[in-house]
Amino acid sequence: MIAGTIACYEKQKTEHTTIIDIAIKMGNSSLTVSRALNNHPVINGKTKEKVRKIAKKLQYSPNTLAQSLKNNRTTTIGVMIPEIKHDLFSSAISGIEEIAYHSGYTIFLSQSNESYEREVLNNNVLMRHRVAGVIVSISQKTKSSEYFKDLLKRNITFVNGMLLHAGLHITDGYESMDLLFKSKLIPDAIFTVNDPV
C-alpha cells in the first residue's frame, strides 16, 4: 500500500508542467518563456501568443512556491484567532477571505484555542510560510507582545483585532491607543471587536 502511494506521488510530482517543459516544446530558452508569460515588453506578441497556447495545452500553472522564494513573500495572509467556533470569528473569517480573494490573496487560518504558547507557534509557522501579512485576535491568555516584534522586524504587516497595548488586553480604548503610540509598537491598522466569551 505504501509503495503504491509513493509511486503515485512520484508520478504526480513529475506531471507538473514547468517553464522548462514549455521552452523545450518551443525550442526557446526558459528566460524567453518566463518573460512571455509575464508579458515582458521585449518579447513580441507572436511569441507571447505561442507561449500562452503551449502553456494552456500543457496545463501549465505558475509555481507560487518558486515565486514566493524569489520575492521572499507570498500572496497569503495569515489569520490567527482564538477559536473558530464563535460566530464572531466565523463571520470575520468569511469577510476576510472574501476581501482577500477579490484582492488576489488567499488566507492561511490558525487558531490558538486561547493558548499563548500556541499563538506564538502559529505566528512562527506563518513567518516561515512568508505570509504577506497577519490578522490576529489575541487569546485571552496572551501576556506578552514579543512575537509581534518578530513580525515588525520582518516587515510583515499585521492587524490586531483587539484593543491592546503591546499585546495586552486593555479596557479603555483611548488609553490603549495612547500606550501603543508611546511604545512605538504600531501596526498598520487596528480594528476592534467585542470579546465573544
The answer to whether residue 46 scores a pLDDT higher than 90 is yes
Range of the structural domain that residue 32 is part of: 2-62
51 & 140 share domain? no
Model confidence at 17, in pLDDT bands (50, 70, 90)?
confident
Answer for the pair 154, 127: CB distance below 8 angstroms, yes or no. yes
The answer to whether residue 50 scores a pLDDT higher than 90 is yes
Last residue of a domain, one of 45, 62, 79: 62
Q: How many CB atoms lie within 10 A of CB 128?
A: 8
23 & 46 share domain? yes
Per the model's pLDDT, the better-predicted residue between 172 and 131 turns out to be 131
Q: Which cell is 95 given?
A: 469577510
Euclidean distance between the first and final Cα of the chain, in Å? 46
| Residue 160: per-residue pLDDT | 67
125 & 109 share domain? yes
| Residue 47: per-residue pLDDT | 92
Q: What is the pTM of this model?
A: 0.57
Domain-embedded: residue 40 = yes
What is the domain count for the chain?
Answer: 2
Answer for the pair 108, 129: CB distance below 8 angstroms, yes or no. yes
CATH assignment of the domain containing 47? 1.10.260.40
Contacts 24+ apart (CB under 8 A), 53-59: 54/22, 54/25, 54/26, 55/17, 55/22, 58/17, 58/21, 58/22, 58/25, 59/17
Domain-embedded: residue 75 = yes
58 & 74 share domain? no
**pLDDT tens for residues 136-148?**
888 878 777 777 7
Model confidence at 69, in pLDDT bands (50, 70, 90)?
low
The answer to whether residue 164 scores a pLDDT higher than 60 is no
40 & 90 share domain? no
20 & 74 share domain? no
